[in-house]
Chains A and B, each alone.
Chain A
Amino acid sequence: MEQIISMSGLGKVYINGRLQVEALKNLTLSIGRGELLSIMGPSGSGKSTLMNIIGCLDRLTTGSYMLDDVDISGMNDNELARIRNRKIGFVFQSFNLLPKKTALQNVELPMIYAGTGKSHRRKKAVDALERVGLSDRMAHRPNELSGGQKQRVAIARALVNNPSIVLADEPTGNLDSVSGEEVMEVFQGLNKEGVTILVVTHEREIAEHTNRIISFRDGYLIKDETVDNPLDAIAEKKKRLEQSKAVIMEAGEND
C-alpha cells in the first residue's frame, strides 16, 4: 500500500520552565492511503501531541516525518500553513466553526486561503456539503444546526481541498450516541470513496468502527492492532435508535 505518512524515531519534548516533558518517544509509524484508523489512549498518553504533529500544527523534536513523500521536519511557519491548507483536513471535538458565517461560508474558508476563485469555490463547497448530506442546510449559521449537523459541516470543510488525510480529534466527544454514529457513518462512507481518515478517541466503541487501532500510553506506542470486523455505523445507529425508543416507552409505562 502507498504510504501517506511515515514517521521514524520521532520524539517530542516540551520544555516548560525547567521541566522537560517527553510527550512522544521514539515513534515509528506508517499510515497507508485509504486507511480508516484510530488512535486511542488515556489523556497524557501523547495522542494529542501526535495529532498536532501529523496536522503540522506542532513541530517534532527528533526523528523524521514524511507526509506524501515530503519531509515536514524542516519547514517554516508559512510552509506548514500551506501544508495544513492543502494536505490536512481537521475535524475537532468542539466543531470550531466560525459562528457568524453560514455553513457554506465556513466550508469555503480553506479555499479562500488556497486562493480558489469565487465561483469555483462556491461549487466545491456545495459539492462537499452534499457529500455529507447537508445540501438543505447551506445557508444556516452554526447556532441553527444540531451538534451532528455542525460536525458534518466541519467534515465538509475538512474535505473541501481534497486533503491527503482527514484528522478527527474526538469527533464524537460532544455528541449524543446517535449523532456520534452519524458522524462515523459519514467517515465510513468517505473512506469507501478512498479518503484516508485518522480518528483520535478514548472510546473503544468509536475506535472499533475503524479498521486499525493504535494505542498509546506514556508517550509510547503500545499496541497496533487490526480490526477484523469493524462496527457498521448504519447498523449501530439503528440499534441506538431502537434502544432510545425502548427507554422512552419504558419511561412512559412507568408514568
Chain B
Amino acid sequence: MNFYESLKQALESLKTNKLRSILTMVGIIMGVFSVVTIMALGSAAESYINVQFEKIGANIITIQYKSDAAERKNWLVLEDMETIVDGTPEVKNIAAFIQRGGDLRVESKTKKAIVYGISSQYKNFSPIEMAEGRFINEFDILSRSKVIIVDENFAQKYFKRTDIIGRIIELKVSSGSKIKVKVVGVMKGGDDLFSSIANNENFPTFVYMPITTVQNIYYNYKKLPSIMVSVQQKEQLKEIGERIVNVLELHKGKGDLYVARNSVEEQKIFSSVLGVISAVLLVIAVITLIVGGIGIVNILLVSVTERIREIGIRKALGAQKKDIVLQFITESVIMTASSGLIGILMGIGAGNIIANQIKIPPMVEYKTIVLAFTGSIILGLIFGVYPAKKAADLDPIESLRYE
C-alpha cells in the first residue's frame, strides 16, 4: 500500500470519529500553542530588555555601596562626582539622582508623585523626550531653582493642555512642608504597556526636579544611592569601574566601601533570569504536549480494539504488517501535524496580540515554527508506534473471529 492510499484511509477513519479526533487534537493544540507562545514571549522580553539597555547605552558604570549601613562620612555625595571626574579621565558623563515621594496640588486637585531629583547630565543616562520647554540644566542645579518637569499625561489631565510652561504647582512633601515650583518643561508620555499602567488613576506620576532643590526640601539629606558614569568605549568597563572605586576610597581614606557594576553585567543578569523563567515555562508547556500525546496513544489503542475485525479482514486480504503500521501511524501523524499547525497559528496570533500590547515587534521566529511543526510530526510518530505495532501484531485468525 502506498502513502497516498494510507493517507486516504487515515483521513476516512478520523472523519468517522470526528468528535473523538478533535478532542484528542485539542490536547496537542494546547501543547504546541503554549510552546510557541512561550518561546515568542521569551524572545520578545529579551529583545525588549536589549532595546532598553541600548537606549541607556552599553557603556555605563554604576557606583554603589558595598554594604547598606555606610557611615555618614562614607556617604556618596554630589561633591564625589567631581572627585571621580578629576581622578578618571575616561569619564564622559556623570550623573546621580535621588527619588522621593510627594503630592502635587493643582488648584483643589491632588496627585501622588514620585519626585526624581537629578543632576544635570542625567538625561544622557535615561532618554527623556521633551514635548514642551526645556529639561533641567546646570544652572538649575547650582542655584537650586524651584523648577519641575512633568509629563504630558499629567499636564493634559490637570491643565487640559500640554503647553503649561511657567505655570506654578504646589509640591507637598511627606513632612508636611509645601513649596511652589514652576513648570519649565513637559516630557512626552510613552505609548508602551508600562506607560499605560503608569497613567492609571491610582499610580503616581513621575516628575523631575534639580537634585539640589530636592535635597533642600527633604531635610537637606545629602546621601546619594549611587553615582552613574558613562565612558567613551565599552571595552574596559570593568577596569575603569575598579579605578573609580579606588579613587573614591582613596579620597575617603577607607577601603572596601564601594562597588562598581556595569550595564553589560546587568544585561547578562537580566538575560539569565529571563532564560530561567522561559525554561521553566517551556518545561510546563512540553509537559502539556506530552499529556496531549498520551491522549493520542489512548485513543489509538481504543481505535485498534474497535477495529480488530477490520484489521483481520485486511490481513486476510493480503495486508502486511508494514501496511497496518503505516495506516495507524499515518492517523497519529495527521492528528499531531494538523494540531501542530493550528497550535502554531494560535501561537502566532497570541504572540502578535501580546507584542502589540507591550509595543514591540512580533517575535515568533521562523525557527520556532519549523521546530514546532517538525516536533509535532515526530510526536505523532512516537505516539503512533505502540498502537500501530499492537495492531500489526494481531493474529489474523483470532481477529477474524473477534466480535
Contact = CB atoms under 8 A, between A and B. Distances in A.
Contacts of B318: 81-82, 84-86, 110, 113-114, 161
Contact of B320 (A77, A96, A98): A77
B320 A157 contact: no
B313 A58 contact: no
A55 B314 contact: no
Contacts of A78: 320-322
Interface in B1-49: 1-2, 5, 12, 16
Given A100-B12, A112-B1, A85 B317 contact: yes
B239 to A, nearest CB: 73
Say whether chain B's binding surface is mostly helix, strand, loop, or mixed.
Answer: helix
B400 interface: yes
Interface in A32-86: 52, 55, 57-58, 77-78, 81-82, 84-86
B316 A84 contact: yes
Contact of A113 (B309, B310, B320, B400): B320
B316 A113 contact: no
A92 B314 CA distance: 13
Contact of B1 (A57, A100, A113): A113
A110 B317 CA distance: 5
B396 interface: yes
Contacts of B313: 96-98
Nearest to A101: B12
A115 interface: yes
Contacts of A110: 317-318
A100 B317 contact: no
Nearest to B316: A90
A229 B320 CA distance: 42
Nearest to A52: B397
A55 B316 contact: yes
A134 interface: no
A109 B317 contact: yes
A245 to B, nearest CB: 36
Contacts, number: 59
Nearest to A97: B313
A157 B12 contact: no
Contacts of A114: 318
Given A112-B5, A113-B1, A92 B400 contact: yes
A115 B314 CA distance: 14
Contacts of B396: 57
A100 B16 CA distance: 9
Contacts of B310: 98
Contacts of B172: none
Contacts of B322: 78
A109 B9 CA distance: 11
Contacts of B315: 57, 81, 84
B317 A84 contact: yes
Interface in B178-234: none
A157 B313 CA distance: 11
Contacts of A115: 1-2
A157 B396 CA distance: 18
A113 B397 contact: no
B132 interface: no
Nearest to B2: A115
A197 B298 CA distance: 43
Contacts of B317: 84-85, 90, 109-110, 113, 157
B242 interface: no
B393 to A, nearest CB: 10
A166 to B, nearest CB: 13
A143 to B, nearest CB: 14
A112 B8 CA distance: 12
Contacts of A96: 309, 312-313, 316, 400
B51 interface: no
Nearest to A110: B317
Contacts of B320: 77-78, 81-82, 113
B280 interface: no
B353 interface: no
B319 interface: yes
A81 B397 contact: no
A82 B319 CA distance: 8
Nearest to B6: A112
Interface of A: 52, 55, 57-58, 77-78, 81-82, 84-86, 90, 92, 96-98, 100, 109-110, 112-115, 157, 161
15 contacts: A52-B397, A57-B316, A57-B397, A57-B400, A77-B320, A81-B319, A81-B321, A82-B318, A90-B316, A96-B313, A98-B310, A98-B313, A100-B16, A109-B314, A109-B317
